[in-house]
Structure 1
Amino acid sequence: MTPTADFWFDPVCPWAWMTSRWMLEVEQVRDVKTAWHVMSLAILNEERDEHDANWQRKLSLVRVLIAADQNHGNEVLLPLYTALGNRIHVEGRGFNGAGVLEEALEEAGLPASLLEAADNDKYDDAVRKSHLAGIELVGMEVGTPVISVEGSAFFGPVVTPAPKGEAAGKLWDGVRLVAATDGFFELKRTRDRSPSFD
């Protein structure tokens, strides 16, 4: 049976976007299938951040993702995330870009009526539940993405550009190895470049 890797993302994070593209490569070269879940940087940082327009927009995006998941099934999250990520990150339109959410819904084959979730707190409990399901696996000191597979959970990897082919598989093997090592917590170095979306 193919193992499942649970992947928690916030669509505004460029590093989560890079990791998600790597994970899609991993699926091509390793026996693993990814299940996609929403987490929220707005919620993670809500005690530190001012609840300004940017904070509200971040929350709006994840509300729509959760509404899509609940009303149309988990299988719609990846196409919607991909449509959002291409606009936000690859095209450089940002998460406040005009038409980004509307266009992404259309590309993913989802109804425009999901836009109603953006400014509605109806889905906030579900957003928090999904967010906490991921963050509680790794602790409150990390962000997005979070990946869990076969009893191991970790933040990251934070990498650019996203490795392709067997290079993606080798990184997966190494990350799983250290994540499954009892008592292992962290490898880190200073980032010296921005995400490369090529």
Structure 2
Amino acid sequence: MTLVKFWSDPACYWSWRTGRWLSAAAEQRTFDIDWRPFSLKVLYGAEMNPDWAAMLGTSHAALRLGEALRAAGRPADAARFYTAVGTAAHDNGEAFTEDLVRQAAKSTGVDDLFDAYHDPKWDEQITADTHAAIASAGPDVGSPVIALPDTPRGIHGPVFETIPPADEAGDLYDAISRLAKAPYFYEIKRGRPS
């Protein structure tokens, strides 16, 4: 089975939209997604906007639970957990707090590993994955990063204003995959609407 690496921070709503698109594309183009951590807390470090500190700290801790699930051989559980977190935070507008993460863990049946949320032993792997994503697509990238099969480098994004219609997901994947495979491709961007 073809595997697409997807590095993301659960607190990032741009990553949420990309993840929803990629999930629909995976069904249409029959590939698996390797959900990997990208910690915006690690990326920003001491330069983090103080207004984001609590949210990104919570998100980083949620990534610990995702890593514990992956280490336990439960990648499908990790995907469901991240979907529940994103649905609550980005679709339902709930505050990104420990309680949101705890409820997502409970609703997806992964609360047996919730102790990982508070366990810093997972931080080394999260940091390594964040740096791997940056090495793949960077420098000067953030969440999300995707590494497609048979491509020389990863890409930041794609960034969507809204989640694309499900029936367009596969065609968009084909277009992005073709572009990403070109060794001379560097960047494409359009300004965000105001």
Q: TM class by shorter-chain length?
A: 0.7 to 0.9
Which sections of structure 1, spanning at least 5 residues, go unmatched? Answer: 194-198
- Offset of residue 39 of structure 1: 1.2
- Offset of residue 112 of structure 1: 4.7
Match of 2:160, as an amino acid?
V
The separation in 2 between residues aligned to 1:113 and 1:76, in whole angstroms, is 11
Corresponding pairs, count: 190
Higher helix share: 2
Identity of aligned residues (%): 27
Superposition RMSD in Å: 2.0
The separation in 2 between residues aligned to 1:192 and 1:112, in whole angstroms, is 43
- Offset of residue 183 of structure 1: 2.0
- Offset of residue 146 of structure 1: 1.0
The separation in 2 between residues aligned to 1:33 and 1:55, in whole angstroms, is 27
The separation in 2 between residues aligned to 1:122 and 1:175, in whole angstroms, is 36
4+ residue stretches of structure 1 with deviation over 6 A?
none
Equivalence for 1:86: 87
- Offset of residue 190 of structure 1: 1.3
Out of 83-92 and 131-140, give the one that drifted further.
131-140
Equivalence for 1:48: 47
Match of 2:103, as an amino acid?
E
Is 1:128 equivalent to 2:122 in the alignment? no
Match of 1:169, as an amino acid?
G
Q: TM-score, normalised by structure 2?
A: 0.88
- Residues 135-158 of structure 1: per-residue CA shift (max 9 Å, x gap): 211113111111112232211110
Equivalence for 2:74: 73
Output aligned runs, 1:170-189, within 5 Å: 170-189=171-190
Equivalence for 1:161: 162
Match of 1:37, as an amino acid?
R
> What SS is found at the alignment partner of 2:47?
coil
- Offset of residue 92 of structure 1: 0.3
